A and B are shown apart, each in its own frame.
Chain A
Amino acid sequence: MKTDPAAAVRDYIASLRVPAAPPVSRIVGRSRRVSRVRAWLVPVPAGLVVAAVLLLSSLRAGTGQAPQIADDGRPPALPTRFAGYSYFTGSVSQSPPGPAIAVYQQGWGVELADFPQGLVLGARGDVYRRVDLADSREDSQDQGDPAPMLLSPDGTQVAVGSHNGLGDLALLDLRTGRVRSVPAARGRAVRPLAWSRDERRIAAIELSKSASNQTFAGALVVFDLTDGTAKRWPEHQAISMAVFSPRGDELAVQGEGIYILDLDGRRVRTLTPPGQPYLTSEAAWSPDGGLIAAINREEPQNSGVYSLVFLDPTGRDQALPNPIRGVAHNAVVGWTAADRLLTRTDDQLVEVDIRSAQRRTLSEFNTSGGNYAMARIQFAADLLVGVQIRAADNPNRGPWPIWWQNALAIIILLTGLAVTMLTRRLMRRRHSRPRATRTPI
């Protein structure tokens, strides 16, 4: 018997057991849920992520190893005013600034928000960068101070020690951001003090690992950067400052007194000035080699008044300039000429004519009323001689720090999500008001 396929199909389809239709509210609810998700969960966060990525890309543009600031041939110069404290200064590793004229620590960490920062100021413009290497090597007992830093005479490198026994001295190239490690005594703290003018040697002190920035004296060590070797002498164990002669063949050190060493550690001369002056700066030796500037505490000893005194490192009994009274204990920071000493106060750089004692303000520190102190400052000795003064310009701080970029990205995302959710809630509220409804299905 022939089968009617149409009838058979009809019968088969009718026999299929079909579950009852779910309530339409479930379908519609699914629609609302799905549409809510589809409406914003994918495109809005995706848009926000894209925006954040674009923003970060633009901020991070230029991050890399290439020098960011070209040497445009301008002579080294100091700005009339240092830029103020900022949390948004980029780092050397993000954006190498090129040669610097000064390295400094701003902030003591004693005010409300003056977290100490290690910074460099570019030699040819208002370029500021954080020395993030010094931040990363800081020791917890230094209360936020960056690790000790020393700028090379030509301003191209910063030597960074450590108080936490890392066992090396790190050399940061400001032109490329690269770091080179010079081995030091394992487990000992190392604090660089002076860099020879020929860039070959660094005089430093090694201290016990428990030393902090409040420990002033340690064992003298001279690193030879050409071969990575170091010289140490058992008789020079309590040195607080070292100064290379301009020729780099002698070293004036502050120990029990002030004395001159040759590079083999032999004492060549002992300086016996009246009073008890002491060396406070690696820049104390004049560029012509004829004088050493030291600081003398005036009587009474607790008066807090200091004077500049000049010592003869040559042993030739030459006539010395008169002491100059009324300076800060850390006044000596460099020489702009053989007879002009650069000194600092709490908020100024002052050039002093050592023969006439005439003073001239060259630059000011922006300390925001003392809230962000210029804690320490050191200059590139070669760039300071004959340095020019230029009007301060807007500071170039480079790309924002990585932590701030990440924080900003998170803020953008969270703000965007909050705005989106708020907008949708308002829209839902508006849609829930009585109005011409959608035709029910």
Chain B
Amino acid sequence: MIYEAQYDSMIRLAYVTTDSLAAAEDIVQDAFLDLYRNLPDIDDPVRWLHRVVANRSTSWLRRLIVARRYLQRAVVETDHPPPDSGRTAVRRGLSRLGPRYRAAVFLRYYLDLSEADIAAALGCRPGTVKSLLHRALTRLREHLDED
């Protein structure tokens, strides 16, 4: 079953991208709803899920950023802060990346997708994925080394 097999990783994708577990659950459940409705028309459900969850997570975060600008709220909600200091540093490093960087990092280093698959999920060219990953890792490394 796609749902049982993919639910966990989709939650992690959305969680990493949005930094909000509640938002991640909403996004992922909505994605599965749409998958359920449109399943006969979807050729590759897993790839479709990657794309939809990544896009919606990015959109959610952008909306949140805009809203925060208006509300001038600097507080970042934290659902489950990892206790370990090294992981906290990773989380901080990820939060300094844009949502598409985070999604690319997740798809590449957690799901081990190829650059072509990541490009398909993010709706960009493979060359762009390579660039996204390179910059993301550079920034993460700098951040982790600083810590």
> Which of B33, B36, B40, B108 has the most CB atoms of chain A within a 10 A radius of its CB?
B36
Question: Are B39 and A439 interface neighbours, CB within 8 A?
Answer: yes
| Interface residues in A1-54 (C-beta closer than 8 Å to B) | 2-3, 5-6, 8-19, 21-22, 24, 27-28, 30-31, 34-35
Task: Using CB atoms, name the residue of chain B closest to A26.
Answer: B29
Closest Cβ of chain B to A304, distance in Å, is: 81
Q: How far is the CA of A438 from the CA of B141 in the complex (A)?
A: 47
Question: Are A9 and B109 interface neighbours, CB within 8 A?
Answer: yes
Task: Using CB atoms, name the residue of chain B closest to A9.
Answer: B109
Q: How far is the CA of A17 from the CA of B24 in the complex (A)?
A: 12
Q: Which residues of B contact A16 (CB under 8 A)?
A: 12, 15-16, 80, 82
Question: Are B16 and A13 interface neighbours, CB within 8 A?
Answer: yes
**Interface pick from B1-9, B67-75, B120-128:** B1-9
B140 within 8 A of A: yes
Task: Using CB atoms, name the residue of chain A closest to B80.
Answer: A17
Question: Are B137 and A3 interface neighbours, CB within 8 A?
Answer: no
Task: Tell me whether A30 and B40 are in contact in the complex, defined as CB-CB below 8 angstroms, given that A6-B109, A8-B90 are known contacts.
Answer: no
Question: Are B2 and A441 interface neighbours, CB within 8 A?
Answer: yes
Closest Cβ of chain B to A424, distance in Å, is: 17
Q: How far is the CA of A21 from the CA of B31 in the complex (A)?
A: 13
Question: Are B109 and A10 interface neighbours, CB within 8 A?
Answer: yes
Q: How far is the CA of A22 from the CA of B93 in the complex (A)?
A: 31
Closest Cβ of chain A to B134, distance in Å, is: 11
Question: Are B12 and A18 interface neighbours, CB within 8 A?
Answer: yes
Q: Which of under 10, 10 to 19, 20 to 34, or 35 or more describes the interface residues of A?
A: 20 to 34
Question: Are A6 and B36 interface neighbours, CB within 8 A?
Answer: no
B11 within 8 A of A: yes
Question: Are A6 and B33 interface neighbours, CB within 8 A?
Answer: no
A440 within 8 A of B: yes
Task: Using CB atoms, name the residue of chain A closest to B102.
Answer: A9
| Interface residues in B1-53 (C-beta closer than 8 Å to A) | 1-4, 7-8, 11-12, 15-16, 21, 25, 29, 32-33, 35-37, 39-40, 45
User: Which single member of B1, B25, B84, B105 contacts A19 (CB below 8 Å)?
Assistant: B25
Question: Are A441 and B3 interface neighbours, CB within 8 A?
Answer: yes
Question: Are A12 and B36 interface neighbours, CB within 8 A?
Answer: no
Q: Which residues of B contact A441 (CB under 8 A)?
A: 1-3, 32, 35-36, 39, 45
Q: Which residues of B contact A17 (CB under 8 A)?
A: 80
Q: How far is the CA of A12 from the CA of B97 in the complex (A)?
A: 15
Closest Cβ of chain B to A378, distance in Å, is: 70
Q: Which residues of A contact B105 (CB under 8 A)?
A: 9
User: Which single member of B1, B3, B94 contacts A12 (CB below 8 Å)?
Assistant: B94
Question: Are B144 and A3 interface neighbours, CB within 8 A?
Answer: yes
Task: Using CB atoms, name the residue of chain B closest to A4.
Answer: B141
The 20 sampled A-B contact pairs (Cβ below 8 Å) are: A2-B145, A3-B145, A5-B137, A5-B140, A9-B106, A9-B140, A13-B16, A15-B82, A16-B15, A16-B82, A18-B8, A18-B12, A19-B21, A24-B3, A27-B3, A27-B32, A30-B33, A35-B37, A438-B36, A438-B39
